[in-house]
């Protein structure tokens, strides 16, 4: 139950920020907003203020802003040509309204990363912490213990988990190496010899690691710069992951998570503390921003494609065409949703 509550709270914040972007820009350019909903229909409760129905709906897996005269996932094709309708605005104004949703999620990621850095300090890699040690492997036989922080291999300091893998590979199998470990307050030096792992195709010591960090205080300006830098770095990483999925070099089944999987991760992270939860929330907000910019009908990226076509053709794409494409996009997204939910359930029983 706690996991479900955390998941709904986190998702609701991300959805609210996203839809708030659409709402604010629509209001700024004079588009009438008929409904601002957190959750998908049926409507649970709400209140109509002015021309807009602000409501909470029963299905807590998203939300939407319904604008007058816009062909969207509601499949409402009522366009009268009134000046307050979406289609009555310029292409640039409509682009700003559509782009504002993902932009708000992107900025939320920056702000959350910056807030974490400001409160916690700027992170610096500080070695690798041993999480678990495999029985009868070189590390276990040499006396390496879970919780040890690996500071150096030989004379080379270790800053990241990647450094550890590279240094062990450079040493090679059957070549003795010396590990410098921090165990509690004591520095421990251990000699061991990597063994070749035929499955991985490289020498290993037989332990799992996580990255260790140290923190230094920073001011709000430096924290904001760090938030931007981390968001840009993760944008590149997520973009590379998308590319690997699309070109088939990475399995979608292993890479994608649906509502069940994300809810499970939110619950696990929430139990470790507020700072990790805020970092994970920032990561999810960034993913939501990038996913919505994919050129798929129904998503914001799909609407932007229609605007690009309109700019090229000097006229809007016909309502009939947009309706058909929106329906295809909806079926496609529902198919993906079924796939990821089934995949999440399969993982629960592995």
What is the distance between the alpha carbons of residues 97 and 87, in angstroms, rounded to a whole number? 12
What is the distance between the alpha carbons of residues 111 and 123, in angstroms, rounded to a whole number? 16
Give the alpha-carbon dihedral of 256, 260, 261, 262, to 10 degrees.
Answer: 90
What is the distance between the alpha carbons of residues 323 and 333, in angstroms, rounded to a whole number? 15
Planar angle of CA 242, 246, 247, nearest 5 degrees: 120
* Residue 179 · residue 150 · CB < 8 Å: yes
Residue 76: how many CB atoms within 10 A of its CB?
15
Phi, psi of 196 (to 5 degrees): -75, 130
**Alpha helix stretches (DSSP H) within the chain:** 2-28, 91-120, 138-142, 161-171, 220-246, 252-255, 259-270, 274-292, 300-313, 319-348
Phi, psi of 175 (to 5 degrees): -115, 120
Count of alpha carbons within 13 Å of 4, Cβ hemisphere only? 2
DSSP assignment of 23-80: HHHHHHTTPPEEEEEEEEEEEEEEEEETTEEEEEEEEEEEEEEEETT--STT------
Pairing verdict, β 195-197 and 33-49 = unpaired
Active site residues: 19
* Residue 144 · residue 164 · CB < 8 Å: no
């Amino acid at each position: 139950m706690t996991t479900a509550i955390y998941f709904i709270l986190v998702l609701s914040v991300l959805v609210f920020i996203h839809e708030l972007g659409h709402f604010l820009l629509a209001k700024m350019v004079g588009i009438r907003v008929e409904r601002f909903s957190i959750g998908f229909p049926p409507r649970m409760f709400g209140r109509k203020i002015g021309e807009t129905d602000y409501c909470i709906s029963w299905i807590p897996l998203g939300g939407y802003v319904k604008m007058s005269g816009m062909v969207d996932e509601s499949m409402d094709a009522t366009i009268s040509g009134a000046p307050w309708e979406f289609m009555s605005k310029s292409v640039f104004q409509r682009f700003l309204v559509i782009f504002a949703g993902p932009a708000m999620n992107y900025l939320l990621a920056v702000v959350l990363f910056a807030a974490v850095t400001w409160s916690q300090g700027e992170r610096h890699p500080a070695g690798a912490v041993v999480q678990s040690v495999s029985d009868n492997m070189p590390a276990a036989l040499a006396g390496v213990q879970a919780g040890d922080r690996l500071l150096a291999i030989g004379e080379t300091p270790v800053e990241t988990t990647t450094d550890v893998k590279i240094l062990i590979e450079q040493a090679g199998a059957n070549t003795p190496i010396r590990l410098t470990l921090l165990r509690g307050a004591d520095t421990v030096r251990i000699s061991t010899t990597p063994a070749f792992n035929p499955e991985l195709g490289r020498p290993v010591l037989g332990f799992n690691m996580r990255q260790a960090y140290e923190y230094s205080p920073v001011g709000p300006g430096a924290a904001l710069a760090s938030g931007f830098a981390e968001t840009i770095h993760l944008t590149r990483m997520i973009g590379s992951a998308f590319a690997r999925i699309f070109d088939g070099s990475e399995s979608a089944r292993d890479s994608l998570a649906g509502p069940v999987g994300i809810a499970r991760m939110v619950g696990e992270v929430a139990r470790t503390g507020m700072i990790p939860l805020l970092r994970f929330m920032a990561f999810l907000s960034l993913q939501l921003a990038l996913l919505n910019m994919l050129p798929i009908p129904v998503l914001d990226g799909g609407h932007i494609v229609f605007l690009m076509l309109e700019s090229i053709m000097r006229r809007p794409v016909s309502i009939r065409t947009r309706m058909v494409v929106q329906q295809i996009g909806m079926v496609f997204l529902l198919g993906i949703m079924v796939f990821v939910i089934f995949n999440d359930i399969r993982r629960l029983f592995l």
